[in-house]
Amino acid sequence: MFLLITMVLIVVAMVITSIRMIIGPTVWDRLLALNLISAKTILLLTLYGSYTDNIHVLDVSIAYGIIGFLTITLLSLFISRGGRQK
Amino acid sequence: MIYKILLIISWIYVIFGVIGIFRFNNMYARLLTGSKIDTAASITIIAALIIRAGISQFSIKLLLILLFLMVTNPISNHVLARSAYLNGIEVKKEGKG
């Protein structure tokens, strides 16, 4: 029961973070919101895996963690190199 | 029983993380929510799940995720802060925010 409340709380936090992603004045606010959402997705997957006692969901969350980390690193590298207009 | 207390603590972290995004006004303060508060929330949640799962293959994988998150989350926020600092936002000297 507690896990369900935590999952609902994390989903609500992700929705609110996506609002910050839409408002965000600078590109880095959007990147920060993306980073937050990917971190929360990992937590959500871990919670769901342990709620249904299914060990394979944990592998999915590890894979998503790697992809999320790569996304942030490459996107900020792309932006710090000036993006498309160079 | 213990994992319930830890989960309640993690609720507080998640709520503060969300409040922190909208309350702070400059970019670098907002990065604090992404790196510190979010990592603390994930440490608490995964520690609670490890205690709930007890000694099993399940908790070993959870430990792996915990270590992975503790390493990658600060690094990705560092990369973000560096790219924001290098060609974007200058660090304002005023105290608040």
Going from the N-terminus, what domains does chain A have, and what CATH number goes with each? 2-85 (1.10.287)
Residue carrying the six token digits 């792309």: A78
Measure CB to CB from residue A42 to each of B22, B30, B69 and give the nearest one. B69
Determine the Cα–Cα distance for residues A5 and B84; give it in Å rounded to an integer. 35
Determine the Cα–Cα distance for residues B6 and B48; give it in Å rounded to an integer. 6
Question: What is the value of ipTM here, to two decimals?
Answer: 0.85
The more confidently predicted of residues B55 and B92 is B55
User: Tens of pLDDT along chain A (86 residues)?
Assistant: 888 988 999 999 999 989 888 987 888 888 889 999 999 999 999 999 999 988 899 999 999 999 999 999 998 888 888 777 65
Tell me the whole-structure pTM to 2 decimals: 0.87
DSSP chain A: -HHHHHHHHHHHHHHHHHHHHHH-SSHHHHHHHHHHHHHHHHHHHHHHHHHTT-THHHHHHHHHHHHHHHHHHHHHHHHHTTGGG-
- Listed by number, the residues of chain A in 40-59 with a beta carbon closer than 8 Å to a beta carbon of chain B are 40, 42-43, 46-47, 50, 53, 55, 58-59
Measure CB to CB from residue B14 to each of A9, A27, A58 and give the nearest one. A9
The more confidently predicted of residues B77 and A84 is B77
Domain ranges across chain B: 2-96
Q: What is the mean pLDDT of chain B?
A: 85
> What is the per-residue pLDDT for B95?
57
Q: Give the type of residue at A3.
A: L
